[in-house]
Amino acid sequence: MYTPASNRIEDRARHLAVMREYNFAALITGAESRLLATHSSFMVIEDGAAFDSRCPIVSDAKAA
């Protein structure tokens, strides 16, 4: 996804802090000829040098 230079965060620690502080987002999906937005909270999961963001609703649905 394109991110304008003015909105980029290059500092990893700041990036993670922003994701934790603003952990509510819209998950956009497409169905036939329309888009759907589902608002949900996200979790930041760190594993050493890597990190991931997870949506509990989607993770629970996959597990079922």
Q: What is the pLDDT of residue 58?
A: 53
Encode pLDDT of 1-58 as tens digits: 788 888 877 888 887 888 888 888 777 888 788 998 888 887 787 777 766 777 665 5
Rounded CA gap, 21 and 18, in Å?
Answer: 5
What pTM does this model have?
Answer: 0.49
* Cα radius of gyration (the chain): 14
Q: What is the pLDDT of residue 55?
A: 64
Rounded CA gap, 55 and 53, in Å?
Answer: 7
Report which of 24, 53, 56, 50 is spatially closest to residue 37, judged by C-alpha positions: 24
